[in-house]
Structure 1
């Protein structure tokens, strides 16, 4: 089964992305003969949460949310005869900010078509927060802060598990983003531990919940990763559990729409976001 859509796409509303307009992503998706394009911009971080990245550029601004949804709806209508456009968010699960996240989802859940639940932020041993995928320099600082790379990985998978288990209300996303994102710098900062038991437990929870996995090609193009998120080993395990995958390029510029889709495994269960089924 071939991918029918790119369901993990960012926009010019992302501070760490490109200035490419949303319409340019749509045109690229049509050029790639996609049936679906899902805009999943980084939801604004909780208002009382301080972005830990050096550039404070992790997510869209609160004041841009309405314009983002409005533009998505405009494009839906304009291109309705050529492609199905979804508008949604990639929502950060942050330990200690569950209430804020649920309130955001309750506010906008009825206005969106799609959503991804991801972990980028970890709570460190000193109770500060860190962003795991910002840069090699920042990741090196994080390892030092945690005391070992193994503890960073353990905390990441524990946070993902918490994200899956935690009740975020009726609009909680049912797709888990880039499950092995923690491996973004794995070739530069390797770990000897496999974390098989942690991943097995997470996959079991995903199966029990009836959730899906983001099949994310961005890692293929990261200098120190060169792997799909999740990696091939996890893909195989998830496939054995019949966990559905949803394809995404994690594009932050129009020209990378559907990038790497030709390298995706062909013997897995591909799906589309659950809200499509409910419409």
Structure 2
């Protein structure tokens, strides 16, 4: 069962993340080793296409905070590979990225992944950006930005959710080449501000979510069980919540714990909750 055989963190960040603590990735790895993790994926936010960054309100200042510049991608991979070698006797480290799926920019993303040929061992595929007021908007930046840039643009929180899950479904179908990630990142990230922005019907997109799970199963992909949402004051639930994880287990979809740590102290955060969920859900299937 997940959580018993291999204590694994499949979603983490580093000092190459400019909205994190700035602490070196080695401190994250050392904390993971101290907690008994046996496998640890380093999955930083990659560069973003100019076609996106040029159409984000407060563009360059925001992008400087959200993504590494292209010129640092090789340096990042060198760093991850160096740590993998340095700590190979203590933990299995895997180099990867948290790849952004951006509708209409699939060829750019494929090209970026091709540049990393053979160097990516474990990556995630996430949706962080949607068309919105004034261009592209980051769906998880601030509650105020979510409401003004997305809810006001689409007309309701439900319509924002619909657009988000449509993009997630497109990401699973998209041809991103040989190095396309095999795991869907924080499936319900769009719920981050659910208690702070405009209210939404919690069941508005259930059919879309089930359709996504069917496609994840058909493609042989995995789901990120992302504990970060549990610690967001306007969310307070795992990304995705228990009912979705139950549906994933029914379909035999592999589930991978992700701390989504943006500072070393968050490595392993909520792992006890993850273990309890896995015992419960797999026990129900026994």
Choose the corresponding residue for 1:40, options 31, 38, 43. Answer: 43
Retained in 1: the 8 A contact 2:12–2:258? yes
Find the aligned partners of 1:193 and 1:41 in 2 and give their Cα distance: 30
1:163 aligns with 2:163: no
2:12 corresponds to? 9
The aligned runs of 1:82-161 (5 Å cut-off) are 82-124=90-132, 128-141=135-148, 142-161=150-169
1:255 corresponds to? 265
| Offset at residue 53 of structure 1 (A) | 6.4
1:218 aligns with 2:225: no
Find the aligned partners of 1:228 and 1:12 in 2 and give their Cα distance: 25
1:277 corresponds to? none
Retained in 2: the 8 A contact 1:122–1:129? yes
Retained in 2: the 8 A contact 1:36–1:83? yes
| Offset at residue 254 of structure 1 (A) | 0.6
| Offset at residue 109 of structure 1 (A) | 3.4
| Offset at residue 12 of structure 1 (A) | 0.6
1:18 aligns with 2:21: yes
CA deviations on 1:86-119 (whole Å, 9 max, x unpaired) are 1110000001111100101111131121110000
For structure 2, the 5+ residue unaligned runs are none
1:208 aligns with 2:215: no
Secondary structure of the residue aligned to 2:240 is coil
Retained in 1: the 8 A contact 2:194–2:235? yes
Secondary structure of the residue aligned to 2:66 is coil
**Larger displacement relative to structure 2 (63-72 or 32-41):** 63-72
Using the size of structure 1 for normalisation, the TM-score is: 0.92
The aligned runs of 1:218-257 (5 Å cut-off) are 218-257=228-267
Secondary structure of the residue aligned to 2:179 is coil
1:65 corresponds to? 73
Which of structure 1's runs of 4+ aligned residues deviate more than 4 A? Answer: none
